[in-house]
Every structure is written in structure tokens, then in C-alpha cells.
Chains A and B, each alone.
Chain A
Amino acid sequence: AQSVTQLGSHVSVSEGALVLLRCNYSSSVPPYLFWYVQYPNQGLQLLLKYTSAATLVKGINGFEAEFKKSETSFHLTKPSAHMSDAAEYFCATWVINAGNMLTFGGGTRLMVKP
């Protein structure tokens, strides 16, 4: 069975600083990987996805993530944080033939200080 671990339930950065949100997955077969963002009182919005093409994936709002099979990781980064990036971020995985559902990590709340 697959699982997703997000290290750090809360991350705080200053505006303009690098954002790094960590995600590690556990899967017996190569997974598809996703990052979603959730703003208060809103649904989840897809930021980016890895589907076995390029290992460096660029998403919306300047975010990107790199799939590293050797480290079973899919960390999310953004070079310069903006106040509007403050939200909850979820990493998720999907394994073909292991159920047609996304498996989510516990989430990381990103806080951006002025």
C-alpha cells in the first residue's frame, strides 16, 4: 500500500525567502505524485503533478517539484515566497492498479512573515 509523509506540519518563512515543503512517498511501484494547495474555506487546487515524464515539474504560481526516485521524495519549492502563498499544502500519490483514489499526506501549513 502506498503512503505519503509530509515532514513539518507547519513551516514559516519570510517574504522573499525560499520555500521548501517536504514530501516522501512509500510505494512498491512508481507512483504518480501531486501537490495541492488549499486556501481557507476553499477546495483543493492542483499546483503540479508528476506522471513519469520529466523529473522536474513546474506548476502554477512559481512552484516546482523534483521527483527523486532514489530518495523517494517529491519536495515542493519556490524561490521567493509571497504573502499570498500562505495556505495549506498537500502532497498526494496515485498508484495505478492500487485503487482509483488519491492518497494524501497530512499537509503542511505555510506561513509567510512580512
Chain B
Amino acid sequence: DTGVSQNPRHKITKRGQNVTFRCDPISEHNRLYWYRQTLGQGPEFLTYFQNEAQLEKSRLLSDRFSAERPKGSFSTLEIQRTEQGDSAMYLCASSLVLAWNEQFFGPGTRLTVL
């Protein structure tokens, strides 16, 4: 069990560019969550998957954001046409369906949009 991993850990991009982040959950976990954490705030829910199905999306997830989990294992979060307001820490978490109340978090990807 190597825990939840996220890549890259840091990403600096210019406004208008597209970025993609990857999350590898704990191997047997079938639920995967994305959260966004801005400076000085708690994490905010973005979306979650159960296996490959995206079951819930927050209103925070604008049309420029898309998340996938094609084979029910790793997930990607893409932001198109980045804006300075997208600068934040993007956290991934995973859990078992039967242990839904225990989410394990990755270290996060810190995005800076210049």
C-alpha cells in the first residue's frame, strides 16, 4: 500500500494554457474524489467517481474542468484555458465504498497560474 499519489506536485502555467493532473488512488479503492483548496481555506469538493463512473459534480466544476477515470483506476483532472482564479491546491482522495467515511488523501498538486 503506497498511498494516494498525485503528479505533478507543482505546476506553473500561463493564463490561457491547458493543464492536466493525475491521481493514482490506493489500488483496491473504488471511490476517487477531487477537491480544491485555496490559500487559507478548507478543501472544497469538486467531483467523485465510483469505479469509472463520475457520479457527482460540484457547481465549482465549470465547463473548463473535466475529470476522467477511464479504467476505474487512476484519474485525470484537466483545466482548459486556465485563469488566475484557478490557482489552488488540487487534492485527490480515495476510499472503499464500504468504508466511505474514511477518505485517504494524496499530497496534492499546487497550481499557479501567472
Could you tell me which A residues sit within 8 Å of B by CB distance? 4, 6, 9, 32, 34, 36, 41-46, 49, 51, 90, 92, 94, 99-107
Chain B interface bracket (under 10, 10 to 19, 20 to 34, 35 or more): 20 to 34
Q: B98 at the A/B interface (Cβ < 8 Å)?
A: no
Residues of A within 8 A of B7 (CB): none
- A32-B101, A100-B56, A101-B33 known; A90 and B48 CB under 8 Å? no
In the complex, are the beta carbons of B102 and A104 less than 8 A apart?
no
In the complex, are the beta carbons of A94 and B107 less than 8 A apart?
no
**Smallest CB-CB A-B distances: 9 pairs:** A104-B42, A43-B105, A101-B45, A44-B105, A43-B107, A43-B106, A104-B43, A107-B42, A90-B42
Q: List 6 A-B contacts (CB under 8 A).
A: A43-B91, A43-B106, A45-B105, A46-B104, A92-B42, A106-B42
In the complex, are the beta carbons of B40 and A102 less than 8 A apart?
no
In the complex, are the beta carbons of B105 and A107 less than 8 A apart?
no
Residues of A within 8 A of B4 (CB): 43
Q: B41 at the A/B interface (Cβ < 8 Å)?
A: yes
In the complex, are the beta carbons of A103 and B107 less than 8 A apart?
no
- A41-B107, A43-B105 known; A9 and B45 CB under 8 Å? no
Residues of A within 8 A of B91 (CB): 43-44
In the complex, are the beta carbons of B101 and A51 less than 8 A apart?
yes
Roughly how many angstroms separate A44 CA and B4 CA in the complex, as a whole number? 11
Residues of B within 8 A of A44 (CB): 43, 91, 93, 105
Roughly how many angstroms separate A49 CA and B104 CA in the complex, as a whole number? 13
